[in-house]
Structures are given as structure tokens and as C-alpha cells.
Amino acid sequence: MAHKVKLNESNSTRVSAEDLHRQLSMIFQAVETPENHADIAAKVLVSASVRGVDTHGVSQVIGYSEAIESGFFTVPQETTVITESETTALLSAGNGIGLVSAYEGMEIAIRKAQEYGLGMVSIRDGHHVGMVAYYAMMALEHDMIGMSMTTATPSVRPALGAKKMLGTNPIGFAAPAGAERDFVLDMATSTVAGGKVGLARRLGVNIPEGWALTTEGKPLTEPEEENDRWALNPLGNTREQGSHKGYGLAMMVDILCGVLSGGGFSRQLARGENMTCLMAVDIGRFRDIDDFKAMMDDMIGQLHSTPTLPGEEGVLVAGDPEAEATEDRLVNGVPVENGNYAGIKARALEVGTEVVI
Amino acid sequence: MAHKVKLNESNSTRVSAEDLHRQLSMIFQAVETPENHADIAAKVLVSASVRGVDTHGVSQVIGYSEAIESGFFTVPQETTVITESETTALLSAGNGIGLVSAYEGMEIAIRKAQEYGLGMVSIRDGHHVGMVAYYAMMALEHDMIGMSMTTATPSVRPALGAKKMLGTNPIGFAAPAGAERDFVLDMATSTVAGGKVGLARRLGVNIPEGWALTTEGKPLTEPEEENDRWALNPLGNTREQGSHKGYGLAMMVDILCGVLSGGGFSRQLARGENMTCLMAVDIGRFRDIDDFKAMMDDMIGQLHSTPTLPGEEGVLVAGDPEAEATEDRLVNGVPVENGNYAGIKARALEVGTEVVI
């Protein structure tokens, strides 16, 4: 099964997070990205790899730097405020690197929440923002709750429908704990993220029934290249099992990112155009932050000690697998799949910079 | 199948929404609820029935009025501000009728959004708020986006877990459209709302596999009365199909309602204690409201014209079934299931008021 494929010592090479950051920043700078933006982009991508979210990790530097060279991403970029109020801002990403505009957008949301309790930013004219929870997590060090969501190129059918109309439209949500790990949710609103299907295709393995349907409504287990003959299922899969819920959440994301920003809902956008919405909530406006964290610890502890279904090792909380990956990878290096490892090095040479990994 | 059971002319009696409102308000007042609060409670319950959400509709007046008489709900009630800032408020519902405190809370969130762009209210010491989308929908007439969520008595297992640890923790989200119907999402974060399982039990019909599991991990199709030998599945059902997503959303609701308010997450609460979170976003702070609504219409129109899966009549948008029920019921009367109809009348006599339905 595709979702059980793991990077290991034979299919990947371990590289330190610091070296990866340096390499990625150098590649971005070599294609004319200003140093501060190159550092942001490198930071977000390396963070995804450190957290084990390899589909959104360091290998993306190849495609992103190509998009910069082709002019699809505008670099140097400027994130501009189209309109703002005490708590809100409508931004244009200026068609730049999505990682940079989302990072700068979340900084604005946090600043507004510091001043007024809440902050919300909707970003138009944007591109792929990578691991969406990154931006929600930026709130944590400020003792805030963060939310982040983004649209994506249509690949998901609506409930009862047979055609790709919505992106996988993921939602990120982060809330700080005390002694326990922070709560970090990062979920596509489809049954499965698109990256897992692509991975299965590259590996030549089947996907489980329930992830995708043909336009004739038949379960699809050997997904073809992207085309209009099949679509991902919204979370819930079938009418009986709640497909209207995943579909409804995907529309919510399209509304907060695409319609609220005016940048367009996912079906209106060209491949690679993504709109984003970010929010910060200052916990201290509601209650003492230490009390909040203590109650988070209590909830997380109780969930961890829930009796499991037969055959399961333990109940996890959102963010646990990523925190475990982080603990390993910061110490032992970040495994980079061998094809990607070679690809990043080749890309460095191609753009005329040094190879440091 | 339980989810295909519909009220019809043989199992229900049509009553006008006005008469139902009058009857419910009279019952609430007869158990010492002040008139303004009785009117709010009646309005929310009748609205649910008008929208076809019968599980959260007029029949609830029986249990609510009993909870008032027993002292489980404190009436007359006062919704008090424990702490507030420009955009936020922490409220105590004072253990009163949940419908009233949530209504008053959403009024505060809207007022703050009018002044600062965003408003967010977390409510502790509360009870059942009925159809959660009601409060999100209150934002619509102010040209705002509304969000609402509430915790519930544990009935849902976490992903990989075998014990009820979370409520069905529903989420409401409403955004205004122009010529099209407004977008109104109202979804439990479990595969199915608890009310549908209760309905199946009362009707003696099986539920589909996927809605619930025994603690041994076996699919349950004939759910027993509430006990600890089974649990509802989180949306997604299985690890492979995304059960961590429904579970993660349920935790998000517990965090925003229970932990942020300090009232307690669902596992800490006694049956009937529910914490609530409400949010309002002033669309005009981001862009022109007419442009926003025109883009909503465009999105909704495109989704409605999506080719369907074989055998399906058409693609719906969240809120469509409820809007259709409303169109019928406001003209032809609200069908009240015959047992509930008799129950409401009996309850009116019991509390010493007139029967007007």
C-alpha cells in the first residue's frame, strides 16, 4: 500500500537540516530570490521534511526554482496589502513564491491578534504554500491558536458528482500544549492528499478503494496520470458515509481563501494558482495561558491512554507522527529519497551554485 | 435505512411555524423562562424544524422544559461576560438554556465584528445549543461569514481507539450568496450525527456499516442503548480512509469550545453539558459584498451543474436540502412526527398552559 511506504536507509540519504536549509536557500538565491525570501522558502520546505511530510519537503525546491526561472512565479516578489482593518488584511501575493507570501501573511495575522485579539488574512494572486500547517504553527510560539487553509488545483469531486471541481483544500490548525506535544492538525479535505496518489503511481502500487472514483462511479485503484476520467473522493467517500462533509469543508476553504480574497475559487484557477487564508487567536484574551496548556495536556493525556482497537499500538493525537519524525530527523539527519537527493544536487549545479549536501 | 426515513402525511401532523413558535414559547414561559428568552429558544427550535432538522427541532421543548423544572438548566438565566477584549469574549452561560446563551453569544460576536472586523466568543457553563448552524446563520443578514461549533457528550471513539472519548462535536459555517441560496454547512465531525442512530433504534432498523464499532472493533449495525460497549466512528471511519481527520476536527472543536473557554473538553463534562464557540467575519473588510456574493453564485452554479455519478439526480451544495424543506414547510406547515405532536401537547397541559397547535 502506498501509504505504508517509508523512507529508509536503502532508498534515501540522510542530510542535516542545516545543510538542507543552506542548499535550498542557495538554489533560491541563484534564481534571483532575495536572501530573506530564500531563507523563508528554505525554512518552510526543510520544516516539512523534518516533520516527515516529504511530499511537501525539500524536493519541491526543484519545481519552485523552475517556476521562478520560467516566470510562472514572480521573483523578486512583494506581498502587498490591498485593504486592511484592525483585525483583517487582504493581501496580494504578487504571483510570487507561495511559501513567502503565506509566511508574511501569517506574521500580519499574528501582529493583529497581538493588538486586537484576533487576526485574519486572506491572500490572492498566490501559489503553492507547501505544508499548510506550517503557518498555523507559527502562532504557537506566541501562545496563540493558528489556523491556515489553502486551495489547490481541482482534483476532487463534489459529493454525488463525477467531475473534479475542488482542490484537496487542506486545513491546518495548531494549539499549544504544555508538557505534551502541541496539537497540530494538517488534513486534506479529500479522503487522501494528492501527493499519496502520485507516490503510488510512481511506485507502481495500487491505492485502496475509497480514495478515488472513475467518472463512471467505479472504484479506482490504479490511478492514471492526471486527467478528467477520474477524481479523488471528498473525505467520507460515499453519501452514506458522509461525503457531503468533506465536500462541505472543501467549499469552506474555497470561500475563505478564494471568494473572500477575490482571487477565485479553485475551479476558476489555473494549475499552480492557490489562494490562502490564515488566522491567529490570542489565547490570553480568553484565559490564562498556563491553565489553557494544562487542560490541553489533560485532554491529550486522556486520549493517549484510550484503549485501542484490536491490533493497534496506541491512540495518537494530531501532530504525534510529525513530532516523532522531528525528534529522529533533527538528531540523525533528514532522509531525502535518493532520486530527490540527486535531483536537488543536479538542480544546484544547473542554476550555477555550489553543492553542499 | 434510518437515514432514508422521512416525515410524511401518515406519520406526522402539519402545524404552522407561527403556531409552533407560540406553543413553544408558552411552554418555556410556563416553567418560568422570561418571555424574551422563551422567544429565542422557540425561534431556534422552530427554525430547526422548518429546515427539516427534526432531531433538533420542536420536540426538544419537552426535554428542555423538563431540564428547567428539574433545575438542571438554571432559569431565569444570565449570560455573563467573564472577560472580553475588542474582538473576543469569554462568556458563562450560567447553566441556562443553551439556545439562549449561544444566541446572545453570537450577537456579541457579530457586534465585535461590526466594530473591528472579527468577533469570537467562547462559552462555558453551557448546555445543548440545538442545530449548531443556527448561530452561524445569524451572521448572514449582517453580510458576514459565521462559524459555530459545540461539544457534546462523548459518543465517538478517537482514530485507532475503542472507547467513547469525544462528542459528535458539530461545526456550522455560513456564507451569504446572492441569487443562489446561502452556503450553510452543518456537520457532525463523526461519520453520522447521534440523532440518526437514535432514530434507527426507535424505528427498529439497522444502521449501515461504517457508522459505529463495538469495543472489539466489529462493525455494529444494531446499536444498543447508549453504553460503553460501542462507539460512533469519527468521520473517515478507518485509518486508511482518514479517521484521523474526523477525530482531529472533533479535537479542534473541543479546543475552541472546551479548552479555550475553560469549561472543559467533552470527556470532562457530564451528560448535557456543552461548551460552544462562535465567530463572525465581516466580509466588507476584505472586499465589496456584492462582488463576494456574485463569486459565491458563480461557484454554487458551477457545482450544481457538475455531471453526477450514475443514478444521482444532481449535485447539491450545503444548505440545499434545508432550504428546500424551508420552502415547503413555511407554505404548507411543519410536519411534526405524531408521537412528538402528542408529546408537545401533553407537555403544554402538564406545565399548565394552553394547547394552541
Closest approach of A45 to chain B, Cα-based (Å): 23
- Cα B151 versus chain centre, distance: 10
Query: Are A248 and B173 within 8 A, CB to CB?
Result: yes
**pLDDT confidence of A1, banded at 50, 70, 90?**
very low
Please report residues of A whose CB lies closer than 8 A to that of B295. Answer: 258-259, 262, 264-265
Query: Are A235 and B216 within 8 A, CB to CB?
Result: no
Closest approach of A199 to chain B, Cα-based (Å): 15
**In terms of Cα–Cα distance, which of A174, A161, A158 is closest to A254?**
A158
What is the structure's pLDDT at B223? Answer: 81
**pLDDT confidence of A4, banded at 50, 70, 90?**
low
Rounded CA-CA distance B348/B336 in Å is 15
What integer is the mean pLDDT of B300-324? 97
**pLDDT confidence of B2, banded at 50, 70, 90?**
very low
**In terms of Cα–Cα distance, which of A30, A31, A25 is closest to A45?**
A25
What is the structure's pLDDT at A226? Answer: 79
Please report residues of A whose CB lies closer than 8 A to that of B84. Answer: 285
**In terms of Cα–Cα distance, which of B248, B168, B270 is closest to B212?**
B168
CB A247 within 8 A of CB B309: no
Minimum-distance CB partner of B308 among A161, A187, A188: A161
pTM of the predicted structure, to 2 decimals: 0.97
Rounded CA-CA distance A254/A270 in Å is 14
Query: Are B259 and A296 within 8 A, CB to CB?
Result: yes
Residue B3 has pLDDT above 70, yes or no: no
CB A94 within 8 A of CB A78: yes
Query: Are A259 and B307 within 8 A, CB to CB?
Result: no
**pLDDT confidence of A41, banded at 50, 70, 90?**
very high
pLDDT digits (tens, 9 = 90+) for A127-154: 999 999 999 999 999 999 999 999 999 9
Query: Are B116 and A248 within 8 A, CB to CB?
Result: no
Minimum-distance CB partner of B83 among A173, A286, A309: A286
Enter the CATH code of domain B11-310+334-350: 3.30.1370.60
pLDDT digits (tens, 9 = 90+) for B84-115: 999 999 999 999 999 999 999 999 999 999 99
Task: Please count the other Cβ atoms lying within 10 Å of the Cβ belonging to residue A174.
Answer: 26
* Cell numbers 465584528: residue: B113
Query: Are A255 and B145 within 8 A, CB to CB?
Result: yes
Residue A333 has pLDDT above 50, yes or no: yes
Rounded CA-CA distance A167/A128 in Å is 12
Best residue in A309, A317, A322 to probe B by mutation, most B CBs within 10 Å?
A309
List all residues 6 or more positions away from A7 whose beta carbon is below 8 Å from its beta carbon.
A54, A335, A336, A337
What integer is the mean pLDDT of A50-63? 96
Residue B133 has pLDDT above 90, yes or no: yes
Residue A3 has pLDDT above 80, yes or no: no
Chain-wide mean pLDDT for chain A?
A: 96
The residues spanned by each domain of chain A are: 11-310+334-350
Long-range contacts formed by A324-332: CB under 8 A, 24+ apart:
A324/A52, A325/A50, A325/A51, A325/A52, A326/A50, A326/A51, A326/A52, A329/A17, A329/A49, A329/A50, A329/A52, A330/A17, A330/A50, A332/A14
What integer is the mean pLDDT of A252-258? 98
List all residues 6 or more positions away from A211 whose beta carbon is below 8 Å from its beta carbon.
A191, A192, A196, A197, A220, A232, A233, B241
Please give the angle made by the CA atoms of A263, A265 and A269, to the nearest 5 degrees. Answer: 75
**In terms of Cα–Cα distance, which of A116, A108, A103, A78 is closest to A90?**
A108
List all residues 6 or more positions away from B115 whose beta carbon is below 8 Å from its beta carbon.
B86
Please report residues of A whose CB lies closer than 8 A to that of B205. Answer: none
Please report residues of A whose CB lies closer than 8 A to that of B312. Answer: 160-161
Cell of B217: 472493533
pLDDT digits (tens, 9 = 90+) for B261-279: 999 999 999 889 999 999 9
**pLDDT confidence of A197, banded at 50, 70, 90?**
confident
Minimum-distance CB partner of A318 among B84, B191, B244: B244
What is the structure's pLDDT at A262? Answer: 98
Rounded CA-CA distance A110/A94 in Å is 21
What is the structure's pLDDT at A5? Answer: 62
What is the structure's pLDDT at A112? Answer: 98
Please report residues of A whose CB lies closer than 8 A to that of B117. Answer: 85-88, 120
What is the structure's pLDDT at B228? Answer: 87
What is the structure's pLDDT at B1? Answer: 46
3-state secondary structure (DSSP) of residue B171: strand
